[in-house]
Amino acid sequence: MKIGIIGSGYVGLVTGACFADLGNDVICVDNDKAKIASLKKGVMPIFEPALEETVLRNVKAGRLIFTSDIKTAAMASSIIFISVATPPKSNGEPDLSQVENVSRQLALCFDASYKLVVEKSTVPIRTGEWIEHTLKVHAKKTARFDVASNPEFLREGSAINDFMHPDRIVIGVESKKAKDTLLELYKPIKAPIIVTDIKSAEIIKHASNSYLATKISFINAISNICDKTGADIVKVAEGMGMDKRIGRAFLNAGAGWGGSCFPKDVAAFIHIAEKTGYDFKFLKEVLRINEEQKKNVLEKIRNGLWILKGKTIAVLGLAFKPNTDDIRSAVSVDLIDMLKKEGANIRVYDPKAAAKAKTILKGVVFCKDAYEAARNSDCIVVMTEWPEFSELDFNRIKKLVRQPFVVDARNLYEPQSLKKLGFKYVGMGRR
Ligand code: NAD
C-alpha cells in the first residue's frame, strides 16, 4: 500500500519504518528540515533499538523515503497517518495546532483520488470530527476522503518490537472503506484487532495511559506506607502481582512517572473530562501522588545529607526510562532542578540521553561514565534503571565517593548487597 506519514518523530519514524518493513511503500514527512537531511544521510535523529537497521534496510529496498514536502506524500499516498506532537498547554489541555495545521495542508493537496487520513497522534475525543471538518473546509469539492483513528501504544525503548507485536490494534472508523483499508494494512501483524467508532478509539488511548499511570501512582502510594513501616514494596508488589486480576506489570515503585506521554496524557484526560462536565478527581489525585513522589526522592537525599548546599550529588540516568534518549518530562530533570535550587553541585551520567539533556540542563557536570559521576560525591541517586547500572562495581565506587550513600529511586539494587559493602542505602519503599 502507499502510505504517507506526517511527523517523523518517535512514533512517525517507527511507524513508517515498520510499515515499509511489511512491504508497503512509505513516505515519511517532517517539517524539521535538519531531521529529514539527517535521515537522508542514514543518521537517526533519535536512539531507539533496532530502528537504524530497519530504516536503512527499507531505504535500500526502495520502500522508504524521506521528504519535508507534505505535498509529495499527500499526492502519492492513499493512507496518510498524522503523527505530529500534541504537547500540553499550561492548563493541561493538549495543543492540537500541529494536527490542525497538517490537516489543512493535506486538504490543499488532495485531488479526486480516495485518501484515508488516520490520526496516530494521541488526541482528545472529537479530534476526528475536527480533522474531518478541516479537510472539508479546505479541500476541493471533488476530494474523496475518510478519517480514522488508530492510536499508537508502542513504548520508547522497545518501539519496533511493540509495533510489530502489539497486544492489540485499535481501529476507530465510520465507514466500511476505512475499516477494510486498515484491516488490510494490518493483516501481516498477528494481533487482536478491535474495530470501533472514532470517539471510542480516541478514549481508549487516553484511558489506557491514565490507567497505567494510576497503577504506578498506586504502588508508589503503597511504597510510602512501606517506608513508614519497614515493609518491602518489592515483595508487596510480587505478592499482589501474582493475582492474575492485578498482574505484576506497572507495579514497580520508583521516583514517579515521567516521559513524553503519561504526564501530558493524564493532564489531557483530566481536561477532556472537565470539558464534558465531569470532574475527574480520581485522576487529579493520581497526578498529585506523582508530584509528591518526586519530592519524596529529594526528601530521602536530604534526610541522608542534612544540608544540601555545597554537597555533590551524582545523578545516574537522565532518560525517563531505559533504552531511550528521550528526556521530555523526565523526573530526573525535575529532581536536578530541585537539587540546584538547594545549592547542590550536580554530576550526571546517562548512556544515551546526554546529548539531548545538554540542551536543557545547564550548570551540571556531564560525565563519561557512572564512575566519573560518582567521584567525590556525597550521594548517588539512580534515576533510570539502565541495565549497565545494575552491573556497577560498588567496591570501586566506594573508593571514589566522599560519602558512601545511595538513593535508589528505581529500586534497582538489593539493599543488603550495598549495605554489606558499607553503603548507606535508601530505596523507594524498601531499605
Ligand atoms: P515527536 O515530537 O518525536 O514527533 C513529532 C514530529 O512531527 C516532529 O519531528 C516534528 O518536527 C513533526 N512535525 C510537526 N509539525 C509538522 C508538520 N506540520 N509537518 C510535518 N511534520 C511536523 O513526537 P512523538 O513522541 O513521535 O509523538 C507523536 C504523537 O504520538 C503524540 O501525540 C504522542 O502523544 C503520541 N504517542 C507517542 C508515543 C511515544 O512513546 N513517544 C507513544 C504513543 C503515542
Q: What is the pLDDT of residues 336-352, one digit of tens each?
A: 999 999 999 999 999 99
Q: Which of 48, 84, 106, 206 to mutate to test the pocket of ligand 1 (most atoms within 8 A of CB)?
A: 84
pLDDT band at 190; cut points 50, 70, 90:
very high
Q: Which three cell numbers stand for residue 96?
A: 492540537
**367 labelled catalytic:** no
Q: Which residue intervals of 306-359 are DSSP H helices?
A: 331-341, 354-358
The residues facing 171 across adjacent strands are 195
Q: Which three cell numbers stand for residue 198?
A: 472514532
Residue 154 has pLDDT above 90, yes or no: yes
Residues 6 or more apart in contact with residue 392 via CB below 8 angstroms: 370, 371
With a 6 Å cutoff on the Cβ, whether 156 touches ligand 1 is yes
Instruction: Give distance in angstroms: CA of 223 to centre of ligand 1.
Output: 34
Among residues 18, 28, 226, 261, which one is catalytic?
A: 261
Mean residue pLDDT of the chain comes to: 97
Which protein residue has the closest C-alpha to ligand 1 atom 10?
7
Full-model pTM: 0.96
Determine the Cα–Cα distance for residues 120 and 333; give it in Å rounded to an integer.
28
Q: Which three cell numbers stand for residue 426?
A: 535508601
pLDDT of residue 431: 84
The residues facing 405 across adjacent strands are 424
**pLDDT tens digits, residue range 269-302?**
999 999 999 999 999 999 999 999 999 999 999 9
Percent residues over pLDDT 90 in the chain: 100
Q: How far is CA 378 from CA 12, 298, 346, 373, 416, in A?
A: 42, 14, 10, 11, 20
Nearest-10 Cα torsion for 255, 83, 152, 128 = 120
